[in-house]
């Protein structure tokens, strides 16, 4: 590849990284619109293990909304933190790519008073739709997790949650 092609490839990979990071930000910010818009309009292959497997992003977005936006006594029932690491992205054509990421995940269940720590691997496929990168496949395989009870005197404080700033 010449220098211009290499530079374009690097720019495309950076756009894919922005897409995936935006997806995780949407998860943590409880933003179902941005969550859904991370995927192609129809036909995305999604497999989140225990949460289920789907042949379109719509049903998963509905589950996300029910879990992420659920409140009990005016407080969110779950608080999430997603950290994506070790991106390995390969362009397979001008309009498609594959990627693998490691996830570090932490969740506080404010109702059950537990904290879950988990790690696993994402295997993704990306395509350009309407001029922007979108996920066409998002498969997650859990490597391990641990759930521990929170002590009764644990102070759970919510900061500013919501959509993009």
pLDDT digits (tens, 9 = 90+) for 46-75: 999 988 999 999 999 999 999 999 999 999
pTM of the predicted model as reported, rounded to 2 decimal places? 0.93
Quick check: is 156 in a domain? Answer: no
Quick check: is 154 in a domain? Answer: no
Task: State the chain's maximal CA–CA distance in angstroms.
Answer: 61
Q: How high is the pLDDT of residue 98?
A: 98
Quick check: is 10 in a domain? Answer: yes
Quick check: is 47 in a domain? Answer: yes
Range of the domain at 130: 3-149
Domains: count for the chain: 1
Residue 162: φ, ψ to 5°: 145, -170
Q: How high is the pLDDT of residue 165?
A: 43
Q: Is it the case that residue 160 has pLDDT exceeding 90? A: no
Q: In 3D, which of 43, 38, 47, 34 has the Cα closest to residue 20?
A: 38
Buried b (16+ CB within 10 A) or exposed e, 82-114: bebeebebebeeeeebebebebebebbbbeeee
Task: Read off the CATH number of the domain in which 131 is found.
Answer: 3.10.450.50
Using 50, 70 and 90 to split pLDDT, how confident is the model at 134?
Answer: very high
Mean per-residue pLDDT for 113-126? Answer: 98
């Amino acid at each position: 590849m010449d220098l211009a092609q290499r530079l374009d490839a690097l720019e495309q990979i950076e756009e894919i990284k922005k897409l995936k990071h935006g997806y995780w930000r949407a998860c943590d910010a409880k933003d179902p619109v941005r969550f859904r818009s991370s995927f192609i309009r129809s036909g995305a292959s999604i497999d989140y293990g225990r949460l289920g497997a789907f042949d379109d992003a719509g049903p998963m977005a509905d589950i996300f909304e029910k879990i992420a936006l659920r409140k009990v006594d005016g407080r969110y029932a779950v608080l999430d933190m997603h950290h994506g690491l070790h991106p390995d992205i390969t362009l397979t054509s001008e309009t498609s790519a594959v990627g693998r990421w490691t996830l570090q995940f932490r969740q506080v269940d404010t109702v059950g008073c537990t904290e879950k720590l988990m790690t696993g691997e994402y295997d993704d496929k990306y395509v350009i739709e309407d001029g922007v990168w979108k996920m066409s496949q998002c498969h997650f395989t859990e490597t391990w997790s641990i759930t521990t009870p929170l002590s009764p005197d644990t102070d759970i404080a919510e900061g500013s949650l919501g959509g993009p700033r």
